[in-house]
Structure 1
Amino acid sequence: MLIPGRQYKLAFVQSILAFTQVINAATHYRLDYPDLSLILALVRGGSLARAARLLHVDVSTVFRSVRRLEAALGQPLFEKSRAGYLPTSLAQALAEQAERAEQALEAARVGVEQGGQVVSGTVRLTCTDAVLQALLLPALARFMPAYPALTLELSTSNDFANLSRRDADIALRLTLAPPEHLVGRNLGHVVYRVCAGDAYLRSTSLRDLASMTWIAPDDFLPDHPTVAWRRQHLPGVVPAYRCNSMLSVTELVRAGLGVAALPDFLIDGNHGLTPIGEPLAGHDTALWLLTRPDCRALRSVVTLFDELGRTLRRS
């Protein structure tokens, strides 16, 4: 059984072995962690002086170390220019490996401090930009500081293909019928209401919704609940503005350009938006937290999944 910290060091060693073995076979030079640290510092700093400050050494030491390493590898790692030291493709690739090693070592330190109970790794999460801005970011700010060794990769998308293609591990989606091949939790209902910005309210009458200037999702979201409602109740309305995200629709409404049906989580506490009607009956949806069945064996994914489930649950 590996003692606390060694399992993370093992992960770091394994992360660089595959890449360095190719180079070692050709050059007979064995890269070590100080070499990677040197490359990473120069890539981040862009100059000998800044790299020296990052490494807490003098400039001449960095210069000699780079010259020695390039001679050992038999090829240049950086190109000098007026902009500083520009990394070659090899140096860039090595710097990426160095960052992974750096993260693994940090996870090892945290693991030792916390008795080996640290949650580490990278989790890929996808959601719409509206959910990211209004729901996910406040949630992450509440619990992520407790997981310093956990890395998140966030992407915004409107479809389920990310999980199906294994491009993501967790998804937050607005739907009433999540795909059956995914597992997850229903975090609660989301309702929609027609809203207007303060400036638009001052310039128009509220007597007839059909005569107002409408802002709506474009054809990228053809089955959106607000689109279905408008086609049913206001079939003659042609939106003056179309956007490919509900967050963009919200910003146009706030700017006073017209009205739109918006989800409640974008309205609550959002200054400058005023509901002008009751919730759209029969056109609500639900917020689902989803993952792939195979991800339930990953501690990092399960931890994030559980935290999001607790933090985002709606009444």
Structure 2
Amino acid sequence: MTDTDKGAARPRNAAEPFGTLAWDEFRLVKAVADARGLPAAAAALGLDPSTVFRRLKQIETALGTPLFERHRTGYTLTPAGEEIAALADRLANDITSVTRRIVGRELTPAGELRVTTNDSLLVHLLTPLFARFAVACPDIRLEVILGNQALNLSKRDADVAIRATDQPPDTLVGRRAARITWALYGRAADYPEPDGIRLDDLLAAARWISLGDTLSGLKAVKFVASRVAPERIVYRVNSVLGLGEAVEAGLGIGHLPCFIGDARPSLTRLGPPAPEFGTDLWLLTHPDLRHSPRVRLFLDFLAEEIARRRDFIEGNRAPPA
């Protein structure tokens, strides 16, 4: 038997194909599995769908087995695909865990810091603080990710989360920086003498603005839903920042955090702050990152700056100059 014959007769090791897959291939399979289709997976990977389709076929050819069943409703994992996707999950978690630990052991506060928060906190509170931080710590570059959804700090979607919540995730650590107080606001031109206004009169006759269903868990939204007649709610918007704009435009009255309402000279309070609508302002990070010099420096800086503005945030005085 020739050497060539020996090579042809040798059975292929079933584990060999796994050794030929690079991390990018595992990542591609995981993206298709998560998205259950090519367009969304391609968007997540920054590729076009035809490239994802071609590379997926190459992976399946290398493994000698299909990883997905193609249906009109989307892509479904085969048993082999489930094993590859599960392995990809474990690899992603291991890579992220090692990265977090390395970042947590950095010696000097430098590099990029990813911060997630929402638009109303960014515009009315945080941007000036971020500017002061950039001057004080020029070696740290901030990347801000806007959104109300909870990003996965365990996977380093962000390094720090600044959130208004009464129930911060158990998987994160941090500090309560202040209590965000809410009050009812209207346009000052429409209510030149707000001190004599009764809430019952506003409930009966005023035009109201409310936040949308995506923020229905907020206490102020629940109040409007339970106390204001549906026909009196003339406008809904799924952004606290957008609600402030709508009140300022004269569409109606609505509840706002005091640090937003009091910062707008054209608005006036139509009642005292409502402590029962308040939420805590939290500065959060992952446990593996809390000892990172840049994370610790950033959190300490923000906590000190927010403490100086606590009375304003909690509705006890006018905004700082």
Q: Same fold (TM over 0.5)?
A: yes
- Superposed CA deviations along residues 98-157 of structure 1, whole A, max 9, x for unmatched, are xxxxxxxxxxxxxxxxxxx96310000011101001111121222320211211110111
- Superposed CA deviations along residues 158-215 of structure 1, whole A, max 9, x for unmatched, are 122343542111111111111111101111111111101124336x995512221111
Is contact 2:262–2:268 with CA below 8 Å preserved after alignment? no
Would the alpha carbon gap of residues 170 and 163 (structure 1) be closer, same or farther in structure 2, given more than 3 Å must change? Answer: same
After TM superposition, give the deviation of residue 296 of structure 1 in Å. Answer: 1.6
Is contact 2:210–2:237 with CA below 8 Å preserved after alignment? yes
Corresponding residue number in structure 2 for 1:309: 303
Letter in 2 for 1:258: G
Corresponding residue number in structure 2 for 1:257: 251
What SS does the aligned partner of 2:131 have? Answer: helix
**Is 2:211 the partner of 1:217?**
yes
Would the alpha carbon gap of residues 240 and 171 (structure 1) be closer, same or farther in structure 2, given more than 3 Å must change? Answer: same
Pick the aligned partner of 2:166 from 176, 185, 188: 176
**Is 2:233 the partner of 1:243?**
no
Unaligned runs of 5+ in 1: 1-116
Pick the aligned partner of 2:277 from 280, 283, 287: 283
Would the alpha carbon gap of residues 128 and 240 (structure 1) be closer, same or farther in structure 2, given more than 3 Å must change? Answer: same
Would the alpha carbon gap of residues 291 and 284 (structure 1) be closer, same or farther in structure 2, given more than 3 Å must change? Answer: same
What SS does the aligned partner of 2:290 have? Answer: helix
Letter in 2 for 1:169: D
After TM superposition, give the deviation of residue 238 of structure 1 in Å. Answer: 4.9
Pick the aligned partner of 1:127 from 117, 121, 130: 117
CA distance in 1, matches of 2:167, 2:301: 23
Corresponding residue number in structure 1 for 2:89: none
Would the alpha carbon gap of residues 222 and 185 (structure 1) be closer, same or farther in structure 2, given more than 3 Å must change? Answer: same
Corresponding residue number in structure 2 for 1:86: none
- Superposed CA deviations along residues 43-102 of structure 1, whole A, max 9, x for unmatched, are xxxxxxxxxxxxxxxxxxxxxxxxxxxxxxxxxxxxxxxxxxxxxxxxxxxxxxxxxxxx
Q: TM-score, normalised by structure 2?
A: 0.57
Matches of residues 1-315 of structure 1 in structure 2 within 5 Å?
119-201=109-191, 206=197, 208-210=201-203, 211-234=205-228, 236=230, 238-313=232-307, 314-315=310-311
What SS does the aligned partner of 1:177 have? Answer: coil
CA distance in 2, matches of 1:118, 1:299: 6
Corresponding residue number in structure 2 for 1:4: none
Is contact 2:111–2:140 with CA below 8 Å preserved after alignment? yes
Is contact 2:186–2:270 with CA below 8 Å preserved after alignment? yes
CA distance in 2, matches of 1:158, 1:185: 19
Point out 4+ residue stretches in structure 1 off by more than 4 angstroms.
Answer: 204-207, 235-238
Letter in 2 for 1:132: L
Letter in 1 for 2:287: P
CA distance in 2, matches of 1:126, 1:264: 22
Is contact 1:200–1:257 with CA below 8 Å preserved after alignment? no
How many pairs align?
199
Is contact 1:200–1:258 with CA below 8 Å preserved after alignment? no
Corresponding residue number in structure 2 for 1:81: none
Unaligned runs of 5+ in 2: 1-106, 312-321
CA distance in 2, matches of 1:159, 1:165: 15
After TM superposition, give the deviation of residue 235 of structure 1 in Å. Answer: 5.5
After TM superposition, give the deviation of residue 281 of structure 1 in Å. Answer: 4.3
Bigger CA drift: 152-161 or 224-233?
224-233
Letter in 1 for 2:234: A
CA distance in 1, matches of 2:268, 2:300: 34
CA RMSD of aligned residues (A): 2.4
Is contact 1:199–1:255 with CA below 8 Å preserved after alignment? no
After TM superposition, give the deviation of residue 265 of structure 1 in Å. Answer: 1.0
Would the alpha carbon gap of residues 290 and 233 (structure 1) be closer, same or farther in structure 2, given more than 3 Å must change? Answer: same
Is contact 2:134–2:141 with CA below 8 Å preserved after alignment? no
Of all paired residues, the percent bearing the same amino acid is 37
Would the alpha carbon gap of residues 235 and 178 (structure 1) be closer, same or farther in structure 2, given more than 3 Å must change? Answer: farther
Q: TM-score, normalised by structure 1?
A: 0.58
Would the alpha carbon gap of residues 150 and 134 (structure 1) be closer, same or farther in structure 2, given more than 3 Å must change? Answer: same
